[in-house]
Amino acid sequence: MKPEILQLVPINKSIQEQINQNFTNHIHIDDLPPPDILHKIEAVITNGVIGAPTDMLNTLPNLKLITVHGVGYDNVDIELAKERNIKLSIATGAPTQDVADMAIGLLLDVARQLTLRDQFIRAGRWTKERFPYQGTSISNKKVGIMGMGPIGRAIAQRIEAFDNEVSYTARHQHTDVKWNFVPSLLDLAKQSDIFIVAASGGDNSRKAINKKIIEAIGEHGFLINIGRGVTIDEEALIECLQNKKLAGAGLDVFANEPHVPQALKNLPNIVMAPHSAGATYETAKKIALKVLRSLDDYFSGKELPDEVKL
């Protein structure tokens, strides 16, 4: 008999066919799975937003594997999964390049006001008046990056091409990178015109970007987050943007996804994306392949190459 699995998110079509061939796959993307199958489920395909919270795990008594279609697992009940010896795998490295591209895209958008310019034309204002704003160059700036994993490195390579000086902070100094290491998050913020959050998250970084850090970036500075939403204190960010203590922000992630504070939506000096920095065809296929491999390897008794050790 094929192992029975539960799929909660869409998957690349060609990989979907392979998963359906290899497993008895119960696909429930926009509806709830029927109660009579829950005890049969041995693996679940989820994503960073849905995760595998306590209530989900409690309804799946025979679950053995959680495989994340992506890299975020903040919404997985790690302690309960560990207690029940449930394995967790993520799509390590798959979205790196596209997420780094999105960081630059968000920065260009908010600093050069691309969305505002687009709206200006669509509203028919160009025939009546001049565009009333001036953007800010993203060249010849000091850039600070929080996190120097694969995504942080890819961002550093890209942003350096704009003739920028790059520094970073991380849990420890990386001797295999050329950029300047700044141990203090506050010191890095003080010296940065552009501050990019690429940290992987966790309890230690929750609200690490607080009011003091944001104010240190300054009234002419920009804050970009493609890491984890909980890293930024959203109330502090809203206050600083409203009071012009920060020039602008670009966010792909939020503290309570998919719920975004109305106060953020009301601000003209922020651009937002719905946690979709890695949402390209190419990355979606890479991620789906990693999901398939995790399923195949687990049920073949092999080691999981992308396992998160709990």
| N-to-C CA span, the chain | 29
Catalytic residue (choose from 69, 153, 215, 228)? 228
DSSP 3: P
From residue 10, alpha-carbon distances to 24, 56, 92, 272 in Å are 16, 18, 18, 23
Catalytic residue (choose from 257, 259, 303, 307)? 257
Which residues have CB under 8 Å from 61's CB, separation 6+?
38, 39
168 neighbors 156 (Cβ within 8 angstroms) = yes
Catalytic residue (choose from 42, 153, 215, 275)? 275
Handedness of CA 218, 134, 254, 149 (dihedral sign): negative
Angle (CA) 297-302-306 rounded to 5° is 65
Residue 17 phi, psi (nearest 5): -60, -40
Which residues have CB under 8 Å from 128's CB, separation 6+?
none
| Position 50, amino acid | I
Question: Active site includes 228?
Answer: yes
Question: Active site includes 257?
Answer: yes
> Token pair for residue 203?
């309890």
Catalytic residue ranges: 228, 257, 275
